[in-house]
Chains A and B, each alone.
Chain A
Amino acid sequence: MPPVSVDGSLEKLRREGHIVIVGASLAGLRAAETLRDEGFTGTLTLVGDEPHDPYDRPPLSKQVLLGRVPADHTGLPRRRALDARWRLGVAATGLDLAAKRVHLADGDSLEYDRLLITTGVRARPWPHELEADLDGVFVLRTSDDAAQLHRRLNAGPSRVLVIGAGFTGSEIASACRERGLDVTVVERGSAPLVGALGGVVGEVAAKLQREHGVDLRCGVMVTGLEGDSAGRLRCAHLSDGSTVEVEVAVVGLGATRNTEWLASSGLGAGPRGIACDAGCRAFDVRGIVTDDVFVAGDVARSPHPLFGYQFLSLEHWGNAIAQAEVAAHNMVSSSTERRPHVWTPSFWSAQFGVNIKSVGVPPMADEIIVTQGSLDERCFTAAYGYQGRIIAAVTFDQAKWLEFYQRQIEQAAPFPPEFTTVDRRPEGMRPVPADFPDPSLPSHGPTVTLSGHSPSDRRISFTPLHA
């Protein structure tokens, strides 16, 4: 096809094509808005399995549980009018790549010219179904989950059990303590947050929890939940042989990708997400990149040049937005105008009165150094090192410095940092093992440096690995 008519077909798509977005949460909404910003005037349909308008999830484990914001008041602010067709409360059940059709749970189907998948993740349920069904056992992912849990916390349970001390679990424990509720946190690893931030920082999180009156039990698993004759949760049995009497248990065991509906579609989708290229185009099962199916947000796995081109799956609020914007731009752009998604991972959490923020990929690290402040004061900045370069950083109540470390990561700056900083303490003079439970060491590869600040100008240049 000569270039002129390729451009012509792109123009036609932009003018009167049909774009379907499956997944009507943060990524889906921002993608839709970006499409309109980019000048897409065709038909836009958003499909969402929840009945609610797009809403924000971070407050669900914080302000909502504290009763400061009702669960149904976290609707996402709209950047612009959308002129979209909304199919809310209807899940997508299948995808026919050849016919370019999405099948819906109500029997309907939608034809598309371009498809964006932003189906995200859902809370991993308690594995024993009968125990999971006990009255008092919760997960926390949706606003309905938050409304139910909040209602139950209002009833003043004698004790709340949090299973899993990741970020969600820790935030729930924090909210419960702030409400004056007794909390037991059971974590299989050696410390809270250990999987995300390693043992050194995990130890700080553990002290923080205990100082706030959490009954924290690490290196322990919940082996069973037991109900009374009326089906109400009564107690939990732990792997150390002990029993905890609880009325509420919140399962915080991470998330599962919503990809089941794509099982027989031929798309490269599985439990770890949907693989896509840096331009957010989905791979099919043959490893060939599709031209009309795009992916963004929590459900995507995309290769990142800063981290050895490993596919990264990120459950980060900021990534959902950034990737949605890139995907939307690329969906209605010619190949030379497309942009790579090279967002530096970053996330935040608020718990026990501390603001925690991180950039980069801490779990890749082998070492950590406290560059500013002090672990004992719960107010610090720490940099993570991997093979002699800075790979990540975390701050406790020092978020304003984080941007500096992000640039260090993007420039593949050497680790440990050789420079003096304000507030450098004796403990920050040498690195220690970062102490991740299961370090996954990627293969050697070129290191990559990013430069420039504007999203359309994030050039990638290759620099050799530090010797």
Chain B
Amino acid sequence: MKINSLTKDEVFRSLVTSANGLTEEEAEKRLQESGFNEIKETRKTPLFLKFLGQFTHLLAILLWVGAILSFVSEYIHPGEGMLNLGIAVVGVIFINAVFTFFQEYRAEKALEALKKMLPFNVKVIRNSRELEVPSRDVVHGDILFLTEGDKVSADARIIEDTMLKVNNAPLTGESEPLLRSQEPFKGELLISPNIIFAGTTVTSGSGKAVVFATGMRTEFGRIAHLTSAVEAGLSPLQKEIIRATRLIAVIAAAVGIFFFTLGFLIGRSFWENFIFAIGITVALIPEGLLPTVTLALAMGSQRMAKRKALIKKLTSVETLGSVSVICTDKTGTITQNKMEVKNIWTSDNQKTTQNYLMLTAFLCNNARFIDQEYKGDPTETALLKYAREAVGSVTAERISEIPFDSDRKRMTTLYRIEQQSNRTVEQQNINCCSTALLGYCTNFVSFTKGALESVLPLCSHVLINGEKTAVDETTKETIRNANHTLMDKGLRVLAFAYKELRAESLELRTENSELEKDMVFLGLIGLEDPPRPEVPEAIKKCNAAGIKVIMITGDSSRTAVAIAREIGLVNGDPVLIEGPEFIKMSDVELREKLSMKEIIFSRMTPKHKMRVVSLLKEQGERVAVTGDGVNDAPALRKADIGISMGLSGTDVAKEASDMILLDDNFATIVNAVEEGRTVYENIKKFITYIFSSNIPEAVPYLAYILLNIPLPLTIMQILAVDLGTDMLPALALGAEKPTSAVMTQPPRKPNERLLNFQLMARAYLFLGPIEAAACMFGFFFVLYSGGWHWGEVLTVNNRLYMQATTACLTAIILTQIGNVFACRTHKESVFRAGIFGNRLMLWAILSEILLSIFIIYHPWGNRIFSTAPVGLSVWLVLIPFMLLVFFAEEFRKMFLRRV
């Protein structure tokens, strides 16, 4: 039992109030107890704590340890440059924290948009007097006074009504005004005609209602609660980066500790071991990775914006690429939302009956033709246009209307019809038709249109050859078959009927039952909302890419299936689930249905979407869902990717989504998925590139500890590579264009790792060792050229030593140039892909060379990185290594292609 099933007196008793309203004192007391009638955000981790979290994960802790050790070293051995290093490492922590936070940050404004939908002041009755009070002061038991244009501030039970109509679009997505009444209703609270909800608007009439829920307890508050509390969780990329950094941190720490201990065992001093420990840690940690990932995502989001997909949260760029299911609306996303009449059907196929049908389509219609333009709902507009073109204008006085209602699935209008002079020959038919309708003692006629299952039971007759013939079961079957035929063509079908009313029965005109009883069935009109031309190709791409597309529509099953067939969404017999059936299904049953290959949800409302999304996610799918209404917001939040409509979407939906489609087009989603997949592929490319340089950075330290030679590469030089010369080429790899293969592979599996063995082996066991050989060669080349002999100790300020470390650094920079070209493809030859196909890369390499020239030849660069200028001979002996990296990779790829 709910409040909608109670009588007015029972409502007063239940809420301990009366028609005179609460007293001010009682209202104040209730306000103290229940709190303000307002939308509040659920408690969440404050932003600053989220930011602080970026400083406390495992990798950050490892870097903190490195920084602290550097500061301790500076204290013990001042002047060795450890202070600079400590500061640099802290800088790395901050850079990583800022970039990661920026990646994950999204302005949360959905609740702000929701709050704007509630009124500031409302009229209530207290102590028998009408008062205007702030909306936030409304309490349960208050009597709301409702008039046209009012926004409703709380959920309330109607106790008085005078043609009261409300627009429930924020809750149901349906913009048709609904007639409300005070009569008890036994059904669900949500569809009860005696309930008005917070956030909705009174479109006409007036009434009074008793408040029974305020603030977050209202239906509107429920949406706000879900919008605020529901979180999609970490994106696949975030999870992968956590895993990757954890792995790297453990490797770095383990290698550091192992060789630190080994150093002790082979008799190295504590200080040497100390330097080594910090160095190896810094060398193995890819400091530039997180900034590069963030910037690559930012570039990806810009490319998506150019393709009309606006990304609101950077990590969503990559998440799109991992999507395995897209739950999409039909109208406006798959179709153009441009209705047009395609077929009409009458029992006799006679002109007279068709004219009756047109007259009904004209008059049972709320669209308008003003200033040579049709205005109104797309379906109504299409009907008006067709009818007007067929029969011209008809002047008639509308007496009353029973608006369209999604539960009744029909609307009815009552008219007094007048004949119009100045008609064309064609219009004479209508004249005749009107005359026929007016041929009795009255000129009052009710017209009804709606779903066949709603209209046909109201009809006792059918118009055949101008005669009213009693409807029998055979006729009904014929009509139903005609309806099915039209729906199978993908048309939205409406049935039409009329009824002549005698003058005496007009007293009953406001009685729905009288207007809609014993009607005469006229025929059917099939309307088409054509699919967008790009959609079939997009669906084909989804099929090739292994992405399942689930259509969720309010239309009938037959219409939905026909459209789905037309665009290639279904080929066999899809699983069809209608809204009422969906509500009754248990999670287990629904889960089983969702695992089917082709599935369509019809006669659904947006409130059902979140359940579909939740169940799919529980099954391990990565889900994208579209939505435009206020009540789509929770599903948009819950999905891995919530997609709102830029043209037709509400502000709430846009704020709750991760991506906004600027053209409302399904094909744009698929384009964005393609970009997302490309971004992921590119991330793998630049991770290979970045990780390759970790080996030539680490090997000098191993050589230093094992071979008892001067340290070939300083820690600041490592940072010069990781945060300097490597950054722009890595970013350029992030801008590689999509390859044709990207949308022909299935979505990557949830257990597929970013740092997999293949990638690590390529970087650490193939590319890295070549680069390490180059850097050690460069180091010894300079040392031996300068007369150094094995075992000779060189001070850190020794010019020869500084030139040798510079040669080591130069070797890394040069081999990384060869590497960046090699990393452009996994298997395909770079020559085939176009060696200069990525122009950004050429600019990046130029910048890399200029930066290395600054580091090597400019006094400031020399001072910061402890480098010294090297001769041309050093460059010349190292360039072959650059070519070696590139061609070794070409051979490896050729081998892979053949295997």
A binds B: no
Binding site for A on B (CB under 8 A): none
Give me the interface of A with B, judged by CB distance under 8 Å: none
